[in-house]
Amino acid sequence: MLTTKITSLMTSNSNIQKIRKILHFSRDEYESRLKNIRLKMQEENLDLLLLSDPCNIYYATGYDAWSFYVPQCALISASNDEPVWIGREMDRHGACLTSILSDNNIVAYDDKYVQSQIYHPMSVMASEIRERYGNNIHIGIEMDSYYIDIQAYLKLQTELPNCKVSDASLLVNWVRAVKSPTEIGYMHEAATLVQNAMQSAIDLIQPNVRECDVAATAYSDLVSSNPDFAGSYTSTPPLIPAGERLNTPHLSWNSSRYQNETQINLELMACRNRYHMPLGRSVYLGTPPANLQTIESAIVEGLDAALDFIKPGVMACEVEATWQKAAAKYNVQKSARCGYALGIAYPPTCGEKTISLRPDDKTILEEGMTFHLMPAIWHEGNSLVITEPFAVTKSGAETFCNFPRKLFVK
């Protein structure tokens, strides 16, 4: 793990306190990220970028806290000025602690703006924009974001009537697509945690064991199964459907006890410094039916074929087609996408919202891109989950996990 400790000063209640910043990346890496973001801004003729997605705020500044349930943003100008963070007063200290920003670029709004019918935090943000950058500029905002609503957008337009506002929803997401060695290192650490959790869950599953106890065991290992580093909260909880909920990929556990001749699908996800690592496997208690063994062969052969095919220069749609061709030998098809770009995540999703492994995506894969290859099947009576996260390397694909690709039978 790369940890940079920097001493800065902040004033709180007239007392000077020393704040030791703990950053997960070097200052040079943050500067490189900001340079790449600004190059994209120049292509769109943007004077200012208003980021509301916590993934992108974290990527650009290092700020990391569970504060995205209230309006917050990072402002990035087209010049080389340091970004500005604006958020709730009680989160100011967190921004001082976890971000690269100097104190005068950390702005907090009063609690009267929180969930108020009278005041809106966007008024504070608009005021800062006017004072720092002017009232006649071109602003890009993330319109396709879980974290900015219609009211905030309308308020921004009202407060800054002379500014041009454009959609810059995935500008930073695309910059994030190619990972640095440090980012990939954190993803490898997350892979260690998710494999530990998967093994513990599989070991525990047997008749008469409660589903919730398996979930609890998985949660524990996702956070603390390695003595050298810790996991954090993930964007998605463990998804462990079984029985009548088996064919529903987004349902999870309850207090039921497993029975013989039951299948359990496990989709687990670990997080290390906000970098996520998912892994999916299925377990069958008893003797699996023949059709399930056929699907297992289709998924595994498809995974092997796709991973062998992947290298820089191929298109995302070609990866999907390679899997479909291998699976078709077993008369198995998957209608949904079979993978997506992977990296930084906060609730509610771990996908980067950029590249999908599906027929219409012609994105060319590059070294350093990371994906979750998940040709899982959720057909009625024919459900099976075997997935592989991977990174694109100079010569091919490197899987993050080393976990048997099979249906586990107990």
Reported as a single tens digit per residue, the pLDDT across 135-160 is 999 999 999 989 988 999 999 999 99
Q: Please tell me the class of the 181-409 domain.
A: alpha beta
Residues near 135 by beta carbon (within 8 Å), at least 6 away in sequence: 129, 160, 162, 163
Burial 106-116 (b: 16+ CB within 10 A, else e): bbbbeeebeee
- Encode pLDDT of 316-351 as tens digits: 999 999 999 999 999 998 888 999 999 999 999 999
Q: Is residue 279 within 8 Å of 199, Cβ to Cβ?
A: no
Phi-psi region of 259 (alpha: psi -120 to 50; beta: other; left: phi over 0): beta
CA distances from 360 to 316, 337, 370 (A): 9, 10, 19
> Contact, 344 vs 276, CB < 8 A?
yes
pTM attached to this predicted model? 0.93
- Highest CATH level, class, for 4-175: alpha beta
Sequence ranges of the domains in the chain: 4-175, 181-409
CA-CA distance, 169 to 226, in Å (whole number)? 36
CA distance 87 to 255: 39
Q: Which of 57, 52, 60, 69 minimizes the C-alpha distance to 347? A: 69
pLDDT, tens digit only, all 410 positions of the chain? 444 443 333 334 434 456 678 899 999 999 999 999 999 999 999 999 999 999 999 999 999 999 999 999 999 999 989 999 999 999 999 999 999 999 999 999 999 999 999 999 999 999 999 999 999 999 999 999 899 889 999 999 999 999 999 999 999 999 999 999 999 999 999 999 999 999 999 999 999 999 999 999 999 999 999 999 999 999 999 999 998 888 888 888 999 999 999 999 999 999 999 999 999 999 999 999 999 999 999 999 999 999 999 999 999 999 999 999 999 999 998 888 999 999 999 999 999 999 999 999 999 999 999 999 998 887 666 789 999 999 999 999 999 999 999 999 99
Same CATH topology for 4-175 and 181-409: the answer is no
